[in-house]
A and B are shown apart, each in its own frame.
Chain A
């Protein structure tokens, strides 16, 4: 039956074409990973990688003190793998643009063993990112805390007078991550 043969090979061709689309879309899902980083870069949204590499050198040129005030809020999160407490001394601060201010954070190791961590900063709204200058920050370096040790971690910052006018309040948020997860040392949490 020539007709049936014909239909079968036609069906097989369509089947192959559709399977190719399916596999292609599966690949597209994974292609979204670099694509997404790339899009964030060109639109100015900083990735976590870039944020960790920010150093004091990004301080903007305009350093005159203006009389505009904004509220800076301090937020902190600790990754569940890291048995630390970590918090700013104050929830928020009213600051003048251009003025250099300091805020003290306190980190405390709840476990009995030494652990390495690093804080990753981010600024909300992200449009304020370029105007928030960290002169000195514990997040520039890896931090190590001995068992049950607690430490003051200072942040020295200023907000540039070029901050867009529609922003009256911004949040600097730190997420403390554990770094030595791979050579995983067992630890016991001894404090609360």
Chain B
């Protein structure tokens, strides 16, 4: 890393933002970069959502209507990768960029030029990802990526050149998130206002600290894994190619060594958002700060050693599956502890239910439900039945949508008045909440029954006995998907105007970010705040 990335945290020369495209292309301002991350994530949310709606449209009826089997599986692959790497992670990074410096009283991120780089890699990576989807439609473009997001060999060794685009996209996405994580850790360690020690930081900052560490620990392993795939495909090595003495199961281990911690990467920042929202609207201080921090750290360590619960069916020894089963069940204890802390925060509070709080309550309910199905899946003999069925799909959507995506929505509603200086339209936002949550449950609840009854995942066609539940699920998916147009409308409307927001915005809000005016000036905390 050159010293050029270590520019002083803020430039005293000019006080307003530069004009035109330069403001965005060359930005080193944490607020502008945060905004770009969030806009990028929103665009990706719509792309990933469109692929999901195509999938559900195809599954509305048994038989093949709209898609070919390979195209269907390519959509499944693309949907997952876009949502995880394009929507959720960048949105969480956007919140981090906006809020961490404001919350810890820092003038900007510690490495502002690196910050610019980690954002601008993303559009390039997204383009690669799109190309991997588009290339097979052209003559000579090879076959579609029909592996699912897990990219298991031997299938991923046989796919055409679109797989190479995807591997490079994953490299770029990995580099971007590692750079962002390093930046966040350096900022949190070195840029706190004098007098703020680690145990005084808002929980949101803590969640990102743990997330960033998880990312730099596991993303390089995924990068190594896909690099080996690339070598097997083009340079005659046999890491995974059984014909040359390699072992495809090794890839599964590398993938899930990344993949399981990744689920915590996705939920932790959103859990941090809840730790800001719930005390605000319960008008009570957060319950159990220390145990929240302890839980997160426990999740980080245990989360890195339970990955093979995704691979119970590969024929591990009894001792190995027992270990992974027990580890997996143990990890639900710190996760549950975080949920209980939030419930205890609400206990006997004087609660009001503005949209962020509505989301928070819904998240706790639905996420806990997903955690319960997770425990079912953790049990080896049960998982032998449920593995690769729609039940798994239902499980991870119940944890991921509430746990990660809804948490981000809640955060956007909570901080949008701070960012823009305008209140959002509360009535529309509540309508959005209800359509969104009802649509979500309509889509994914029936998938539990489908999975238990034996419908496999990642297959375009199904037995006619599954028709009714699939129809309900598809109708739900259309409601759920389209409801996001309302979200888009609310956000645009808020940016363009609305009731002016006060500095504190919410009556019960606490924390440094609320001491700044709404919207905060382009350079904030140029002199560090006093920590009492």
Contacts and interface: CB of A to CB of B under 8 A. Distances in A.
> Does A associate with B in a complex?
yes
Interface in B45-92: none
Contacts of B223: 26, 29
A36 B190 contact: no
A57 interface: no
A29 B111 CA distance: 28
A11 B1 contact: no
Contacts of A14: 110, 185-186, 189-190
Contacts of B5: 15
Contact of B317 (A18, A32, A45): A45
A25 B221 contact: yes
A45 B6 CA distance: 50
B195 interface: no
Given A32-B250, A36-B253, A25 B1 contact: no
B158 interface: yes
B111 A15 contact: yes
Interface in A5-42: 7-8, 10-12, 14-16, 18-19, 21-23, 25-30, 32-33, 36
A22 B8 contact: no
Contacts of B319: 43
Contacts of B111: 11, 15
Nearest to A21: B216
A165 interface: no
Interface in B1-49: 1, 3, 5-6, 8-9
Interface residues of B, number: 43
B242 interface: yes
Given A8-B6, A47-B247, A80-B158, A30 B178 contact: no
B218 A11 contact: no
Nearest to A8: B6
B254 to A, nearest CB: 6
A33 to B, nearest CB: 6
A16 B5 CA distance: 12
B1 A15 contact: yes
A56 interface: no
A27 B227 CA distance: 12
Contact of B247 (A15, A23, A36): A36
Nearest to B223: A26
A177 interface: yes
B139 interface: no
A71 B110 CA distance: 66
20 contacts: A4-B8, A7-B190, A8-B6, A11-B110, A14-B110, A15-B5, A15-B111, A16-B1, A18-B181, A18-B182, A18-B216, A25-B220, A25-B221, A26-B220, A32-B250, A32-B253, A43-B319, A47-B245, A48-B245, A81-B243
Given A32-B254, A48-B242, A126-B315, 12 more contacts: A14-B186, A15-B1, A22-B216, A28-B220, A28-B224, A33-B250, A43-B319, A48-B247, A49-B245, A124-B315, A175-B242, A181-B243
Nearest first, the 3 closest Cβ-Cβ pairs linking A and B are: A29-B224, A26-B220, A25-B220
Interface of A: 4, 7-8, 10-12, 14-16, 18-19, 21-23, 25-30, 32-33, 36, 43-45, 47-49, 79-81, 120, 124-127, 175, 177-178, 181-182
